[in-house]
Structure formats: structure tokens, C-alpha cells
Chains A and B, each alone.
Chain A
């Protein structure tokens, strides 16, 4: 086997990288990027594609004796239902916008047992750390049977005639 003599390298030419150095570096970078993307991929696992939470909609019957402006809180639910004088029905969430405790009904409105935020019965913040008003929830239904969707908020002041 004959080989051709290598052309003499000019002093301005860059130092050639040895082939085995190149292969070594390339495999190191390949391993590092494989690890990086594998880690990124694994990080996706704790974030579910479908949430396992129960349905956010529920249906209740409004009591006939409900006075205008008086809240009706269905047992076990964190929602206050109201019926105003003209028959408009609306629902205010009773989950504190500060850190998620269930607020307690008082004569003026609601009070949070955890950090002392206070709200009017329309949900406006009057005191404490809560950053936002209690959200109003979407209400649908007919007659005295109303369906509340805890997953959908509506503009405060939205009342539905049933």
C-alpha cells in the first residue's frame, strides 16, 4: 500500500483536531445531550394529561323558604347560593382566594378561619390578605333545581333567572 505524502501545513492553518479526540468529544456530547433530553422527558411524568378530580358540576334544589339575600350553602359544598327579590339566582364560591380555606358565613358576609380575610356577601374583599374577590360561579337550571359548575367562573354580578 502506498500513501501520498501529506502537504506541509501552513503556519496559518488551524491545528487539526486528532480524529480520536474528535470522536471522543462527539460521543461525550452525544451522551450528555441524551441524558439532558431523557431528563426533560422524565420530568413530564409527574404532570398528568388528564386530571383525576371529581366532576365539578352538581345539582341542588333551592329551598322554597329562601329569603332574598340570604345564602343557602348545600351541605358538603363550598358554594353559597342566593336568590334575589326579582328571582335572579347566583352562586358565590366560598373558597378563600388567599390560600384555599373554606370561609365561614357571618352576619356581614364571610370570614376566613385560617388568616382572617373578610368578604361581603357578594364576595368583595373587605379585610385581610385575600388578593381577589370570591368568584361567582356559573349557574344553570330550571324551576327550583339549579346546577352549579364550580369549574367555570362568571363575571361578578351575573344573575340567572330560572
Chain B
């Protein structure tokens, strides 16, 4: 008769299990084991819901500072900062005209850390606009919009428009003078197709402008309905849109083979430390996708991991670095400068001058010639032009290189001169000599709508880029010229609107010359 082992007490098992909880918890969190080897790190990235948008390995070219300057991640970081601070502000903000202004005052003066949080929210939004614009310029000048990334360029334009929409709806909420008159002007720009329908005489039965305004304001005057609508757009509709577009944007980067890089990037990145060996000794001819054999040009077909490093930790360190720098920039700016709050909205008297935040002052300068062309027509033409660029420039040489290799930078420099001089010249001419109405008092409105400094400038840029296409026999040259001119025009008009426009939108060399009242 063999001795029977004493039965294990359940209490003992319980105790042992309790002691093991921290280890079990770690094991269940890291499904592929603790990420401390290249293999487990790859599994970690692959199996983590927050990280899986990354590919498990990243090309060294993508990690070079000069490839992206971290601008895309900085835009995302700025968005995350506005998201967190925005949710915090929602504790106290009340979207109703009678109390909106007071609730912002409370946030500013009464709520602990309220002023700092509001300042960070406002500065992160500004940083986001800047980084999104710079990111767009970076993408353009490195030719990263080209095949197969054309569609992602369009998604990126959607993100730019949504970012500007978020900024606009954001500064409407405090219901101060800036907010009230910005809503008034914004809603009237939406109504400006009437400039055409009135001139043609069909507004009575076809009035898209009036419908736009009615839908935005929810009333025919600027009041509580309008504020609730812009609040809803700001906190719900536009952020959801932005998030959905971002998901597609990032997923496409992944599916289109990571960031754009030159064809010979493998040979040009610095030699990685440690032993490097090719994985495929023969060129692979097929891959398997959803159990069906795929051949062709999918970005990963036939390529080994040469020139790449594991995303964890290399890419994540870089991303974390950019995130921390963005937070630092926003907090520093928030400590230095308070977000403005003007006087309480006064429907009887607009501010003089009534100026939008800096990113819309270029638009305001154009709107001061024609509401419809400046506010809707030219922006639409610009968006269509930018959207068409990747479909017109189908060349492949120079993709992934700044300015597309030799010859690119001189062309961009020349286009900068053309873009700057023509926008300064046309705006200066209109400021010095006036425009059609001053010369011919009873000129039909349609002529003023379609022939104004903004449209003339757009035409000059279009003709210049067509000329470039002919001169260099290259669509890429035309694209470089068009985009550079667009940037220069934006910068010139923004500077004129910011520094050289005073009361009644009159030109002044300095705010010191503004008339005293």
C-alpha cells in the first residue's frame, strides 16, 4: 500500500495563485511573451491594438530626420493634446449665448488650472495648423504624393480642410466679438453664391447660398441655434471625421509600403551596426495574400528586411520624442501667452478692424475683393488644383528626394520668385489704384466677381505652371511650380492681412499709423 499524498488544500492554491497574479497579468497583457527580443517585439507590435497600425519593421530611410522632420507625428500629437484639453474644457463650457462668454471667463479666472488648459488647447490648435501645412509641403516637395500614394494625398487634403474647420468652429465658441462677427461673416460667405444667383436673377427659385446659411445658423439671425450647431461641429462631427480620415491616412501609409523613399534607399542609408545578411538569396516571385497567390507590384513583394530596423523600439522612440517636443512647445507657448478673449459679443458694432485668426487672413484678404470668389470660388479651384497634382504628375524619377533631385531646387527657387512677385504686385496694384468699381462705377457685379485680384492671381499661377510644363516638357515641373506659387500666395496674402490692414480694411504700413478714435 503506497502512501497517499496529503490532499492539497484549496487555501494553499489560492495563496499561490494570488502571489502569481502580477506575473500572470504580465503574461496575459503581452500575448507573445515579454518584448525583449526582436521576435517578441515584433509580435508585440503586431498583436497590440494601439500599435498595430505600425509595420513591425521600419526602413532606416523613414527614420532619418530629413525624411519627414516628424511633422506628421507632430500634427497627430497636437491633435491628441487638443483632444485631451478639449474634453477637460467641456466640464465648464456652456454652449449658450447668455452664458458661453461667462463660462470662458470662469475657466480663465476661477477654475484651477483652467487658464493653462485653455491656453494649451488654443496653442495646440495653432501648432496643429502649422504642422499640418508644413507636413503637406514636405509631402509635396519629397514627391511622396506619387503612385501608389495619390489617394492618401486626397485624404490628407480632407484632413487639412477638417483641421481648418475645427479651428474655425473653435474660436466661435467663446461668444466674444471675434466669435460673433466670425460666425456672421462665415455664414455670409456660405451664403455668397447669392452674389451669382442675384446677378443672374434666379435667387427667387434657386438659392443654394441661402440654404447653406440657414443650415449653418438654424435661423436667419446669429443666435443660440447657431452656437449649438457650431459647438456640435466642433466637439463631435469634425473630430469624428478627422479621426476616421486619420485612420484611413495611417492605414494607407502602411499598405502603400511605408513612407516614400528613393528607389536606391537601401544602398544610401548608413550601414547598420551588427551583422547584416540578405534574407532572400533569390528574388521572390510571389507572395500569399488571403491564401491566393499574388504577383505584381504590392510594395512588399520580393523585398527582404534589409535596410530596416524593428519598429519597437526605434520608431517608437522617435515618435515619443516628437510627441514630447510638441507637448513642450504647446505648454511653453501657453505659459508665455494667454489665449485672447475679446469683449462680449455686440451685434450692433463689429470690431474695427474685424480680423480672423492668422490662418484665415489670406482668405480674408481675398474675400475683401469678392465674397464668392474669395471665400468659395478660389478655395475650391485651389483644392481641385492640389487634388489633381498626383494624377497629372505621373513621373517616377526623384520620388522620395527633396525637390525631386537635381534641377528641382533651382526650379522651386524660380517659382518662389514668380509666386512672391506676382502676388505682391497684384495686391499692391489693387491697393494703390483700386479695382474695377472705382474706375467704372456702374460695372455689372458679375464682372467684379469674376475679374478681381484673387482670380487674376490664380490665373497667373495656372498659366505659369502650364508654361513650365511646356518649357521643361515635364508635368513634374508644372506641379512644382504650381504648389510653390500656392504656398507663396498664401504667405503673402496672410502677411498683408495680418500686418498691413487696419480699420475698414485700409492698407497701412504700420499699426502705429491707424487713425485714433
Question: Measuring CB to CB, which residues of chain A are less than 8 angstroms from any residue of chain B?
Answer: 46-48, 51-54, 75-78, 98-102, 104, 111-116, 125-129, 131-132
Complex interface residues of chain B between 315 and 359 (CB less than 8 A to chain A): 347-354
B223 touches A131 (CB 8 A): no
User: Which residues of B have CB within 8 Å of A51?
Assistant: 219-220
Known: A51-B220, A101-B181, A132-B445. A113 touches B351 (CB 8 A): yes
Which 3 A-B residue pairings sit nearest by Cβ, starting from the closest?
A: A113-B352, A116-B505, A115-B368
CB distance from A45 to the nearest CB of B (A): 10
Give B276-289 as 1s and 0s: 1 = Cβ < 8 Å from A's Cβ atoms: 00000000000000
**Number of residues from B at the complex interface, CB < 8 A:** 48
Q: Which residues of B contact A126 (CB under 8 A)?
A: 437, 441
> B188, B224, B434, B506: which has the most chain A beta carbons within 10 Å?
B188
Contact of B438 among A46, A111, A127 (CB under 8 A): A127
Asked if A131 and B219 sit within 8 Å, CB to CB, the answer is no
Contact of B218 among A48, A75, A112 (CB under 8 A): A48
Confirm or deny: B371 has a beta carbon within 8 angstroms of a beta carbon on chain A: yes
Closest to B351 in A: A113
Interchain CB contact under 8 A, B218 and A115? no
Given contacts A76-B348, A99-B184, A131-B199, contact A115 B219 (CB under 8 A): no
Residue contact B445 to A113, C-beta cutoff 8 Å? no
* B370 CB, min distance to chain A CBs, angstroms: 6
Known: A98-B371, A104-B352, A129-B371. 18 other contacts (CB 8 A): A48-B218, A48-B219, A51-B220, A53-B221, A75-B348, A99-B189, A100-B188, A101-B184, A102-B350, A112-B504, A113-B503, A115-B364, A116-B506, A125-B437, A127-B438, A128-B437, A129-B452, A132-B198
Say what secondary structure dominates the interface of chain B. helix
Given contacts A52-B223, A126-B441, A129-B367, contact A100 B185 (CB under 8 A): yes
Count of chain A to chain B residue pairs whose CB atoms are closer than 8 Å in the complex:
101
Residues of chain B whose beta carbon lies under 8 Å from any beta carbon of chain A: 181, 184-185, 187-189, 192, 195, 198-199, 211, 214-215, 218-221, 223-225, 229, 347-354, 364, 367-371, 374, 434, 437-438, 441, 445, 448-449, 452, 503-506
**Do A128 and B368 have beta carbons less than 8 Å apart?**
yes
Cross-chain contact B434 with A127 (CB below 8 angstroms)? yes
Query: How far is B386's CA from A136's CA once the two chains are assembled, in angstroms?
Result: 43
Main secondary structure of the interface of A (DSSP, over half): loop
A53–B213 Cα gap in the complex (Å)? 14
Complex CA gap A77/B347 in Å reads 9
Contact A116 B504 (CB under 8 A): yes
Closest CB of chain B to A133's CB: distance in Å?
11
CA distance A108 to B173 in the complex (A): 36
29 contacts between A and B (CB under 8 A): A46-B215, A46-B218, A46-B229, A47-B215, A48-B218, A48-B219, A52-B224, A54-B221, A76-B347, A98-B371, A99-B192, A100-B184, A100-B185, A101-B184, A101-B185, A102-B348, A113-B352, A113-B503, A114-B350, A114-B353, A115-B364, A116-B504, A127-B438, A128-B437, A129-B367, A129-B370, A129-B374, A129-B448, A132-B445
